[in-house]
Amino acid sequence: MKNYTLEEAKGILLKDFNIDLHEHIAIFQSVINHVTVSIFDNRDHIVRASDTITRLHILLYGTAKISLTHEDGGSSIIYFLKPNEMIGELTLLGIEQNPKDVIAIGKCICLSIPMDIAEITLLHDPQFLLAVSRYIGTKLLDRTWFSVKQQHYSLKPRLAAHILLCACDGLYNEKHTQTAEYLAVSYRHLLHTFRELREEGLITKEKKGYSFNRESLEQLASQLD
Amino acid sequence: MKNYTLEEAKGILLKDFNIDLHEHIAIFQSVINHVTVSIFDNRDHIVRASDTITRLHILLYGTAKISLTHEDGGSSIIYFLKPNEMIGELTLLGIEQNPKDVIAIGKCICLSIPMDIAEITLLHDPQFLLAVSRYIGTKLLDRTWFSVKQQHYSLKPRLAAHILLCACDGLYNEKHTQTAEYLAVSYRHLLHTFRELREEGLITKEKKGYSFNRESLEQLASQLD
DNA sequence: TCCAAAATGTGAGATATCTCATATTTTAGT
DNA sequence: ACTAAAATATGAGATATCTCACATTTTGGA
């Protein structure tokens, strides 16, 4: 993990990642001179469950996972974070009881400000508060939909939806281990279901991932709506 | 369902339900002259998924369930609402895409104000916005914990936790049909698990519900933490 | 008080999913 | 280029949970 000032970061971000910072810092406008930029590598902890959370982040680039380790040693992926999502907002609000691990999947870039600065400014800023309400509310709805579907339908249609969701240029290419944790099934069972989809001709294994028959997958996934 | 003005309601609430309104209207102070009180009977719809939502409610008394009907005809209980919880706040924030049914379980009493009044006042009130952020954030954490546990552990320990949570004066007395929907298992399987708990001596059927060995249930449920 | 609807209860067989053991292939770091 | 770790893959048997069919009991209204 490397840290940069906003000034240092501007050049790097624009050159190497084609990110224009101006689009992203609106929400931090009132605390702009406290903003720094951090670049994380694959598997770096952005937040460690066991540590005190000292900064409020916004993910600019990359994907991160929030995950939780159970008493029995197993773990669950709770959420995949995508660009423009916040990290630490529930701690800022003073309601997070059981912090979770946030881990970079591939390279990740975050804006961040110190938590104590956020507390004395953002918590009184109606614009920020409305934005954060909407953000958390949307997550609540997403999570509700996801978990209701998860508990009501078997893996096959959920996997179909997941493949469609993750596919990039018509190719699904996620790690089965991650998918199994996210869909909360055993690795073995996930593989079994992948085979079913293959045998039914809905997906085909290629060198770089799985290609698929979009219409058939969509039809399978449509029962979730 | 019956509606009352705040003035009309004061007497009824204090006399019949021992509710002192003053404790509850703080959050609506700025729109106090638009507040009305509604009393719902068992199985009344407080909100109907198919209708436009025109009021923002706060539940004062009773229990209500939020539930959703699946494409395949089955249904899931998403959440049990308890006193001091809001109904319609996600609609107020403009982010609710798929409204759900909210149904009274037994008698329910709500404060409410028209949604359009809420939009022009509460959405700019930092105190309200902070309160609503915390409220929704807490729900997000509850729901996350619940669904992660739900998908990772079998019914037995979850049922133990549920019995402890619902028990009143050492007696569990919920409808099995409701419990099955909430814990997202078939009625048949729920009964099967109840029998297991009975045969292992953790619970005992009484005339008015189930009594239980608290320590044993707590030990069973403790693996969820 | 009576009836219809809801809730409770049980059996049997089907299916989804898990656990564990083990082998091969791919990936990342030095 | 080599090696250890991670990811992929498969089989076999166990378990959790579901579906359906059916009988009995309780409950809420007219």
Task: Kindly state the average pLDDT of the residues B79-87.
Answer: 92
My answer on whether B139 and B200 are in the same domain is: no
My answer on whether B85 and B186 are in the same domain is: no
Q: How would you classify the pairing of strands B86-87 and B55-69?
A: antiparallel
Q: How would you classify the pairing of strands A55-69 and A86-87?
A: antiparallel
CA distance A171 to chain B (A): 28
> Is there a contact between A141 and B223 if contact means CB atoms under 8 Å apart?
no
My answer on whether B84 and B177 are in the same domain is: no
Decide which of B144, B172, B201 is a domain's last residue.
B144
My answer on whether B67 and B90 are in the same domain is: yes
Residue type, B77: I
- Domain contains A145: no
Decide which of B115, B144, B173 is a domain's last residue.
B144
Residue B201, pLDDT above cutoff 90: yes
Residue type, A215: E
SS3 content of chain B, % helix, strand, coil (to 5): 50, 25, 25
Nearest to B152 among A70, A94, A152 (CB): A70
pLDDT of residue A159: 97
Number of structural domains, chain B?
A: 2
Question: Does the CB of B147 have a partner CB in chain A at under 8 Å?
Answer: yes
Q: Quickly tell me which residue has 């899931």 as its tokens.
A: B76
What are the chain A neighbours of B143 within 8 Å (beta carbons)? 140, 143-144, 147
My answer on whether B130 and B110 are in the same domain is: yes
Reported confidence tier of residue B43, pLDDT bands at 50, 70, 90 = confident
A&B contacts, CB < 8 Å = 107
Residue B143, pLDDT above cutoff 90: yes
Rounded to 5 degrees, φ, ψ at B6 are -60, -40
**Any idea which of A116-130, B56-70, B124-138 has the lowest mean pLDDT?**
B56-70
Distance A43 CA to D3 C1' (A): 21
Pairwise CA distance, residues B37 & B43, whole Å: 18
Question: Does the CB of A70 have a partner CB in chain B at under 8 Å?
Answer: yes
Residue type, A27: I
Pairwise CA distance, residues A96 & A85, whole Å: 17
- For residue A24, the enclosing domain spans 2-125
Q: Could you read off the pLDDT of A62-96 as tens digits, one per residue? A: 889 898 887 777 778 898 899 999 999 999 999 99
Residue B76, pLDDT above cutoff 90: no
pLDDT under 50 in chain A at which residues?
none
* Contact status, residue B67 vs residue B100, Cβ threshold 8 Å: yes
Mutate to test the interface with B, among A68, A75, A128, A129 (most CBs of B within 10 A): A129
> Is there a contact between B95 and A137 if contact means CB atoms under 8 Å apart?
yes
**Any idea which of B14-28, B76-90, B166-180 has the lowest mean pLDDT?**
B14-28
CATH number at residue B112: 2.60.120.10
My answer on whether B66 and B14 are in the same domain is: yes
pLDDT of residue B181: 92
Question: Does the CB of A50 have a partner CB in chain B at under 8 Å?
Answer: no
Reported confidence tier of residue B14, pLDDT bands at 50, 70, 90 = confident
Q: How open is the CA angle A32-A34-A40, to the nearest 5 degrees? A: 105
My answer on whether A102 and A7 are in the same domain is: yes
My answer on whether A55 and A105 are in the same domain is: yes
What are the chain B neighbours of A147 within 8 Å (beta carbons)? 143, 146-147, 150-151
> Smallest CA–C1' separation from A188: which nucleotide?
C18
Pairwise CA distance, residues B178 & A74, whole Å: 30
My answer on whether A15 and A65 are in the same domain is: yes
Residue type, A61: Y
**Secondary structure of A17-41 in HEC code, one letter for each residue:** HCCCHHHCCHHHHHHHHHCEEEEEC
My answer on whether B185 and B158 are in the same domain is: yes
Rounded to 5 degrees, φ, ψ at A88 are 105, 5
My answer on whether A26 and A81 are in the same domain is: yes
Residue B75, pLDDT above cutoff 80: no
